[in-house]
């Protein structure tokens, strides 16, 4: 096994997202033979306590210890970096990076840099209540002078219902997401950040949506290449 570029994935938040993330990571790689693909080690731990419930004060059960356990397990197995395909968990990012001695890719910073590189300075953020309350995404975008708009209360309520349906294994149609998008775009904001990875797995998304799961997968490939050719 090529341990010099082993990508560790802290998964299970949720399980469909973890499976989709690996598919995206695979699809974005261009190789001439099987052995050129990145080595990937996935630890899917759906028993990690609910991040949003803790951040919003609905639960006193912190997910931090469980998250650290997953990261340390991946590090011990030889991972050279860690990807966490769950945006809400990035509320704990500063504590997580202190717990291990390998890089943890930051979806928020990666997304903000991508948006800035495309000359976009005004976006709407579709995310969990925990992500909105935590404010880490807003801070990442502020570094690039990008204005982040939260959805209306009605749109946010619909998004949260959709996100938790997906976590329960319910299949959500493109049309269901489109209906929420149209409500949000009535405010004049054209670019929407899919700031919850559950939303990124809905098939058939249209233009004007920024897929944070794609951005994280691209960052993993970039890290793998930098290790390989260092």
| Catalytically annotated residues | 86, 196
Residue 170, token pair as written in the block? 């319910």
Please give the Cα distance from 173 to 167 (Å, whole number): 14
User: Which H or E element spans position 124?
Assistant: strand 122-126
Whose CA is closest to 210, among 197, 194, 198, 188?
Answer: 194
Residue 54, number of CB atoms within 10 A of its CB: 19
Report phi then psi at 54, rounded to 5.
-75, -45
Are the C-beta atoms of residues 163 and 155 closer than 8 Å to each other? no
Please give the Cα distance from 217 to 161 (Å, whole number): 26
Beta strands across the sheet bearing 39-44: 39-44, 6-11, 81-83
Please give the Cα distance from 64 to 88 (Å, whole number): 12
The DSSP annotation for 18-78 comes to HHHHHHHHHHT---SSGGGSPEEEEEE-TTSPPHHHHHTTS----SHHHHHHHHHHHHHTT
């Amino acid at each position: 096994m090529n341990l010099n570029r082993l990508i560790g994935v802290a998964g299970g938040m949720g399980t469909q997202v973890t499976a989709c993330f690996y598919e995206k990571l695979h699809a974005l790689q261009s190789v001439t033979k099987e052995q050129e693909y990145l080595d990937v080690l996935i630890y899917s731990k759906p028993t990690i306590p609910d991040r949003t419930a803790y951040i919003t004060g609905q639960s006193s059960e912190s997910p931090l210890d469980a998250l650290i356990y997953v990261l340390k397990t991946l590090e011990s197995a030889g991972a050279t970096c860690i990807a966490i395909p769950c945006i809400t968990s990035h509320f704990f990012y500063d504590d997580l990076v202190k717990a291990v001695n390998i890089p943890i890719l930051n979806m928020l910073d990666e997304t903000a840099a991508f948006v800035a590189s495309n000359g976009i300075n005004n976006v709407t953020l579709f995310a969990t209540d925990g992500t909105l309350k935590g404010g880490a995404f807003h801070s990442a975008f502020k570094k690039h002078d990008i204005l982040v708009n939260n959805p209306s209360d009605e749109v946010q309520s619909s998004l949260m219902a959709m996100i938790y349906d997906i976590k329960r294994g319910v299949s959500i149609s493109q049309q269901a997401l489109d209906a929420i998008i149209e409500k949000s775009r009535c405010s004049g904001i054209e670019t929407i950040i899919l700031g919850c990875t559950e939303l990124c797995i809905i098939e058939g998304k249209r233009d004007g949506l920024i897929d944070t799961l794609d951005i994280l997968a691209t960052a993993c490939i970039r890290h793998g290449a930098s290790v390989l050719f260092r």
